[in-house]
Amino acid sequence: MFGTEFEEIDTVVLNFSPTSLVVLNMILAIVMFSIALELRPADFARLAKAPKAVLTGLFSQFILLPALTFCLVLLTQPRPSIALGLILVAACPGGNISNFITHRAGGNSALSVSMTAFATVSAIVLTPLNVAFWGGLYGPTNDILRATSIDPVSVAITVGFMLLLPLCLGIYLNVAKPEIAARLRKPLQYLSMAIFIGFVVLALAANWSLFLQYASAVAALVFLHNAMALAAGYSLASLVGLSAYDRRAITIETGIQNSGLGLVLIFGFFDGLGGMAVVAAFWGMWHIISGISLATAMARTNVALDSP
Tens-place pLDDT, residues 187-196: 887 887 777 7
CA distances from 144 to 78, 83, 139, 234, 275 (A): 14, 11, 9, 33, 12
pLDDT at 22: 75
Does the pLDDT value for residue 71 go beyond 90?
yes
Among 121-130, 216-225, 244-253, 259-268, which stretch is predicted with the lowest mean pLDDT?
259-268
- Could you tell me if residue 305 is inside a domain? no
- Could you tell me if residue 76 is inside a domain? yes
pLDDT at 41: 82
Which one is predicted more confidently, 121 or 236?
Answer: 236
Instruction: Reduce the DSSP state of residue 108 to 3 states and report it.
Output: coil
Helix extents (H) in 80-207: 80-91, 97-105, 109-137, 139-148, 152-159, 165-176, 178-206
- Could you tell me if residue 283 is inside a domain? yes
Which one is predicted more confidently, 113 or 178?
Answer: 178
Q: 274-299 vs 259-269: helix axis angle to the nearest 10?
A: 170
Question: Mean pLDDT across the chain, nearest whole number?
Answer: 83
- Could you tell me if residue 83 is inside a domain? yes
Average pLDDT over residues 57-68: 96
CATH code of residue 54: 1.20.1530.20
- Could you tell me if residue 182 is inside a domain? yes
Does the pLDDT value for residue 17 go beyond 70?
no
Does the pLDDT value for residue 89 go beyond 50?
yes
- Cα-Cα-Cα-Cα torsion 118, 119, 122, 125, nearest 10 degrees, comes to -170
- Could you tell me if residue 201 is inside a domain? yes
CA triplet 287, 289, 293: central angle to 5 degrees? Answer: 115
CA 277 to CA 287: how far, in whole Å?
A: 15
Does the pLDDT value for residue 8 go beyond 70?
no
Instruction: Reduce the DSSP state of residue 305 to 3 states and report it.
Output: coil
- Could you tell me if residue 2 is inside a domain? no
Instruction: Report helix, strand and coil shares of the chain as percent, to nearest 5.
Output: 85, 0, 15
Average pLDDT over residues 45-57: 82
Nearest to 24 by CA among 290, 288, 286, 277: 277
Domain count across the chain: 1
CA 69 to CA 28: how far, in whole Å?
A: 25
- Could you tell me if residue 205 is inside a domain? yes
Does the pLDDT value for residue 308 go beyond 60?
no
- Residue range(s) defining the domain that contains residue 197: 17-299
CA triplet 253, 258, 262: central angle to 5 degrees? Answer: 145
Confidence bin at 63 (pLDDT 50/70/90): very high
Does the pLDDT value for residue 1 go beyond 70?
no
CA 188 to CA 186: how far, in whole Å?
A: 5
Among 68-82, 130-144, 196-210, which stretch is predicted with the lowest mean pLDDT?
196-210
Confidence bin at 267 (pLDDT 50/70/90): confident
Among 211-215, 220-224, 288-292, which stretch is predicted with the lowest mean pLDDT?
211-215
Does the pLDDT value for residue 159 go beyond 50?
yes
Does the pLDDT value for residue 11 go beyond 70?
no
Residue type, 157: I
Average pLDDT over residues 176-196: 84
Which one is predicted more confidently, 246 or 152?
Answer: 246
- Burial class from Cβ neighbours inside 10 Å (0-12, 13-18, 19+) for residue 163 reads buried
pLDDT at 3: 47
